[in-house]
Amino acid sequence: MTKVGDGLKAKNANWKFGSKVAEKFDSHARKSIPHYLEGHELIANLSDFFIASNSVCYEIGCATGTLTYKLASHNSDKTGSRFIGIDAEKEMVQAARRKIDPLPANVEFVEDDILQIELEPADLIVSYYTVQFIRPAERQRLITKLYESLQWGGALIMFEKVRGPDARFQDILTRLYDDYKLDQGYSPEEIISKSRSLKGVLEPFSTQGNIDLLKRAGFVDIMTVMKHLCFEGFLAIK
């Protein structure tokens, strides 16, 4: 195992979110993803258009629950609304439940596989840098499932790392992102080790590839709501 920054270690092509990653996740994500918390703020503000009294909101791949809690707090005046975070990693769900004690009545965290769990009809589903970790062969099935779980007029907010549209743009994005991580204090060795650990684990699609996923699922109304280099947020309304 080699160091990837923030006291974390990983093997080649074997990045995992369990164990020690859950303890360090919040700080590691904030340093690794540009405008990470600003994205949370934008999603909370977007939720104003979709969350009403008695609404159900899911966050898939909720990790330690930071965004799920923020959505619940932001919409605390929406009587009967429920905010459900789902993550496949036991350690992440445990960390989320420990974050606020006692757990607010309108917040729930579930350890399960998003491809297997049965979802209630929802007004909002959020995926914050999660779909990129779903195997490409399963990705369309997931997006279609999310579309079918939404109420009419509901929305999917999906943030993803994206590929450039061709090799030249991808080279520019890669080099600028490496510069960003150096500015965050990561060493060149840590940056390379993290990249190697994500081989075959994080498989980004291009902007158009993600839009195509959404369209094949049934979404028609789609727009980009945030973008910085290779990080992009999509809003898709059913």
- Confidence at residue 4, expressed as pLDDT on a 0 to 100 scale: 80
Cα separation, 98 vs 112, in Å, equals: 18
Domains and CATH numbers, the chain: 2-166+194-237 (3.40.50.150)
| Per-residue model confidence as pLDDT tens digits over 87-140 | 999 999 999 999 888 889 999 999 999 999 999 999 999 999 999 999 999 999
Residue with tokens 């992009």: 232
- Confidence at residue 20, expressed as pLDDT on a 0 to 100 scale: 79
User: Is the peptide bond preceding residue 121 cis, with omega within 30 degrees of 0?
Assistant: no
- Confidence at residue 65, expressed as pLDDT on a 0 to 100 scale: 96
User: What is the DSSP code string of the chain?
Assistant: -EEEETTEEE-TT---SSTHHHHHHHHHHHHHSTTHHHHHHHHHHHHTTT--TT-EEEEET-TTSHHHHHHHHHTTTSTT-EEEEEES-HHHHHHHHHHSSSPPTTEEEEES-TTTSPPPPEEEEEEES-GGGS-HHHHHHHHHHHHHHEEEEEEEEEEEE-B-SSHHHHHHHHHHHHHHHHHTT--HHHHHHHHHHTTTT--PPBHHHHHHHHHHHT--EEEEEEEETTEEEEEEE-
Cα separation, 47 vs 27, in Å, equals: 24
Cα–Cα distance list, 228 to 23, 158, 160, 231 (Å): 27, 14, 11, 5
Confidence of residue 141 (pLDDT cuts 50, 70, 90): very high
Average pLDDT over residues 23-49: 96
pLDDT at 13 over 80: no
Residues 6+ apart with CB under 8 A from 78: 51, 52, 53, 55
Cα separation, 161 vs 203, in Å, equals: 9
Instruction: Using alpha carbons, select from 3, 60, 64, 81 the residue that is nearest to residue 29.
Output: 64
pLDDT, the chain, mean: 95
Instruction: Using alpha carbons, select from 207, 223, 221, 177 the residue that is nearest to residue 42.
Output: 223
Confidence of residue 84 (pLDDT cuts 50, 70, 90): very high
- Confidence at residue 1, expressed as pLDDT on a 0 to 100 scale: 81
Q: What is the pTM of this model?
A: 0.95
